[in-house]
Amino acid sequence: MSRLVVVSNRLADPRKPAAGGLAVALGETLKSTGGLWFGWSGAVVKDGTPGEGELRVHQAGPVTLAEIDLCQEDHDAYYRGYANGVLWPVFHYRLDLANLESGYLSGYRRVNHLFARKLMPLLKPDDLIWIHDYHLIPLAAELRAMGCDNRIGFFLHIPLPPQQILAAIPSHEWLMRALFAYDLVGFQSEADLLNFSHYVKAEATAETIGAGQFRAFNSTVQAGAFPIGIDVNEFQRLGRAHEAVDTYENTRTEYSRRRLLIGVDRLDYSKGLPQRIRAFNELLREYPENQHSATLLQVASPSREDVDAYADIQHELESLCGAINGNYGDFDWMPIRYIHRTVARKRLPGLYRACDVALVTPLRDGMNLVAKEFIAAQDEADPGVLVLSRFAGAAEQLTQALLVNPYDIPGTAQAIQRALQMPLAERQARHAALLENVRKYDVHWWCGQFLQTLAAVR
């Protein structure tokens, strides 16, 4: 059996909770496979040297964690600047928020080179290497240039936009060429895979030479859609533990006469939070029977606060929630409980279970694991309803959710009203179908499919 080497920018101790789909999914995966997890430690060294960083290796259960520090200049150019100021907005279809004139590309390349240099000595000849997400697109090319001949796979956790959007990045050709240094490239959805296929055919005159095999730039790459999932058994086990049960009971007691709606997100402009709050406002206006009855619990964990667009979204959200609570709230009822924090993972299943409706309404999302967690946490006899954006990768799989266009505020409000009024039999039927899907395509399926495909290429 080959050892699994996972590389990602964000690392998490798999024994501890994390917020963010990548860290949660990789933590679950590595807990069962064991292996090496290499990535940024999260520490920024104020006066360090660009392109350098201390590496620390330690054991966390079955996983060896290899963590590297970044100096301030590298962090600013690679993580804040290029990854989150250019790639994140463009890949989420937001050219308006992308800092395309910035000179951050050299920092992005420098840190990818640094990762390769520090990782090379840790590698064994038959390791399977699995690199994750937009921070590390050129990492395989760097490793190949240093003589690495291992099988290397790449998984993009975020969407891949259409060719016409991608091509707005000045270095788009270099970036996409870098994907051809991998043996296997995985996307979240068929839509992303189609965008990849269109791009390489249009911009690089790629030929398809077999199912999912593309030839361009003198290389061949296998590409496929591998929708990520959650660890359903683990999440349900968490749901039976006392922290989740207490959370469920306390929430139901606190809001005994209310219908509860829930949103759980990183505070990110891709999540469609202002649109969601406006749709909730529309619900209260259009369907006034929900006044003094429906309460939205919105939990948004702080994220990337040193990137301007994130500070802006925070202010917008606070003022929207304040206005609605001011307009509609009363001494005994507040329409929105907005919490700018990360909830302990142990409490999440109880919170989801206590709620009647989940609002998962991103403007664009690679997958969205909150949608799957909400389904896994429900009481099968009396389940809640999932309102899901058609622009989340999860919508390709979770077709029995109430699918909405999050830009359409009245349409979303109408779907929320339908969710609140849905008869028990329909809720049960939809939930059963959704749970079957979430269970079948869980995180172990995702990991198994990707690694089996990677092991079989060449």
Q: How far is the CB of 185 from ligand G6P (least distance, A)?
A: 15
Backbone angles phi, psi at 53, to 5 degrees: -175, 140
6 interface partner picked from ligand ADP, ligand G6P, none, CB below 5 to 8 A per type: none
Q: Which of 4, 185, 369, 447 binds ligand ADP (CB under 6 A)?
A: 369
Beta strand pairing call for 402-404 and 385-389: parallel
Closer residue to ligand G6P in complex, CB, 91/338: 91
Q: Which listed residue (83, 261, 264, 283) binds ligand ADP by CB under 6 A?
A: 264
CA–CA separation, 400 vs 187, rounded Å?
Answer: 22
What number of other Cβ atoms are within 10 A of residue 435's Cβ?
18
Q: Catalytic annotation on 365?
A: yes
Q: Which of 74, 133, 365, 442 is catalytic?
A: 365
Nearer to ligand G6P, 267 or 336 (CB): 267
- Given a contact cutoff of 8 angstroms between Cβ atoms, the answer to whether 152 and 182 are in contact is yes
Of 10, 201, 266, 337, the one binding ligand ADP (CB under 6 A) is 266
Residue 342 makes CB contacts below 8 A (sequence gap 6+) with 19, 299, 301, 302
Q: Do 152 and 181 meet the contact criterion of CB atoms below 8 Å apart?
A: yes
How many residues bind ligand ADP (CB under 6 A)? The answer is 18
Q: Can you give the length of the chain in residues?
A: 458
395 within 8 A of 389, measured Cβ to Cβ: yes
Catalytic residue (one of 157, 231, 265, 356): 157
Where helices occur in 255-288 by DSSP H, the ranges are 273-286
Query: For binding to ligand G6P (CB under 6 A), which residues are involved?
Result: 10, 20-23, 133, 157-158, 303-304
Residue 304: contacted member of ligand ADP, ligand G6P, none (CB under 5 to 8 Å, by partner type): ligand G6P
Toward ligand G6P, which CB reaches closer, 270 or 290?
Answer: 270
- Whose tokens are 């009396």? That residue is 382
- Structural contact between residues 76 and 110, judged by C-beta atoms closer than 8 angstroms: no
The region of 68-76, 118-126, 166-174, 365-373 touching ligand ADP under the rule CB under 6 A is: 365-373
Residues 6-35 within binding reach of ligand ADP (CB under 6 A): 19-21, 24
Q: Which does 10 bind (CB under 5 to 8 A by kind): ligand G6P, ligand ADP, none?
A: ligand G6P
Give yes or no: 157 in active site: yes
**Burial zone of 124 (CB within 10 Å; 0-12 exposed, 13-18 middle, 19+ buried):** exposed
The DSSP letter of residue 122 is G
Tell the residue number behind the tokens 């667009």, with chain if given.
309
What binding mask, one character per residue, do residues 281-300 give for ligand ADP by CB under 6 A, x or -?
Answer: ------------------xx
Q: Which of 139, 324, 367, 398 binds ligand ADP (CB under 6 A)?
A: 367
CB of 148 to ligand ADP, least distance (A): 28
DSSP-assigned states of every residue in 339-358: E-SPPPGGGHHHHHHT-SEE
Residue 382: HSE in the Cβ half-sphere, 13 Å Cα cutoff: 4
368 touching ligand ADP, by CB under 6 A: yes
Just list the catalytic residues. Answer: 157, 365
Interacting residues toward ligand ADP by CB under 6 A: 19-21, 24, 264-266, 299-301, 342-343, 348, 367-370, 373
